């Protein structure tokens, strides 16, 4: 039996009187890649934002139910603590424009007022950039602005920034949709490598990408969880008609 990292129980979320997620029950396995699939507006990004306590920042946003991380409901804890344990990378690369590459990587510590010695910072920066295969490319330029990098490098920098906090879970919200094919391939290979050290939840509109790199797939439709399971099983023989129609391109 697979070990879980996150257990979602009866999750409901919305904004004021608009319901977005409706009674989601889901187990996310440890050290695997779980792909969240579904047409635009089905609740994929809202689910991600609930998992790292960002949805409640939306004006009128509400969340009911439980999200259990290592036996503890994340909604019973300080959201700043939770966001250290559950990192998030967004659709478009967003390195902090006024910060250097070095400062970007350790920004989670700086912004949270966590004091580190210079040698500790240096080690975190080198290790985090090594994890994403960026150290050799930027080690001579770590004091230059992060915006000096190409789009693909910027996205790997954003992943390094999230990894620097040593999260248990890494959320990736369409991390390659703004990238060229070569950069996309590098990010996909990186995701597969990273699952050995961190559990990954990936939102993607790219069904072929989910087939290539995810171990598990989750299909959402109009805020409801329609089907989930091992990616190969779900793609080869979906149980639900809506899942089959979505995967075959009947809608999306």
Which domains, and CATH codes, for the chain? 4-247 (3.40.50.300)
Both structure tokens of 104:
């970007």
Both structure tokens of 148:
């000096």
For residue 143, give Cα distances in angstroms to 83, 131, 158: 26, 19, 16
Token pair 């230059």 is at which residue? Answer: 144
Q: pTM value? A: 0.94
The beta strands (E) that lie in 146-211 are given as 169-173, 199-203
For 208-218, the pLDDT digits (tens) are 999 999 999 99
For 74-117, the pLDDT digits (tens) are 999 999 899 999 999 988 889 999 999 999 999 999 988 899 99
Q: How far apart are CA 239 and CA 241, in angstroms?
A: 7
């Amino acid at each position: 039996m697979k070990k879980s990292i996150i257990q979602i129980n009866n999750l409901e979320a919305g904004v004021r009187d608009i319901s977005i997620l409706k009674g989601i029950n889901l187990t996310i396995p440890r050290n695997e890649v779980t792909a969240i699939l579904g047409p635009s507006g089905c609740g994929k990004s809202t689910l991600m934002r609930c998992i790292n306590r960002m949805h409640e920042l939306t004006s009128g946003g509400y969340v009911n139910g439980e999200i259990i991380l290592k036996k503890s409901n994340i909604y019973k804890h300080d959201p700043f603590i939770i966001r250290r344990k559950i990192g998030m990378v967004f659709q478009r690369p967003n390195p902090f424009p006024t910060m250097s590459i070095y400062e970007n990587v350790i920004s989670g510590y700086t912004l949270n007022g966590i004091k580190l010695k210079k040698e500790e910072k240096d080690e975190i920066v080198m290790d985090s950039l090594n994890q994403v295969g960026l150290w050799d490319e930027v080690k001579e330029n770590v004091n230059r602005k992060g915006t000096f990098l190409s789009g693909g490098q910027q996205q790997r920098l954003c992943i390094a920034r999230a990894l620097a906090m040593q999260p248990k879970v890494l959320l990736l919200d369409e991390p390659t949709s703004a990238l060229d094919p070569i950069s996309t391939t590098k990010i996909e290979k990186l995701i597969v490598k990273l699952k050995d050290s961190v559990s990954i939840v990936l939102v993607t509109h790219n069904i072929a990408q989910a087939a290539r790199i995810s171990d598990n797939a989750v299909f959402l439709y109009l805020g409801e969880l329609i089907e989930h399971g091992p990616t190969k099983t779900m793609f080869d023989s979906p149980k639900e008609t809506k899942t089959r129609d979505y995967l075959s391109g009947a809608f999306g």
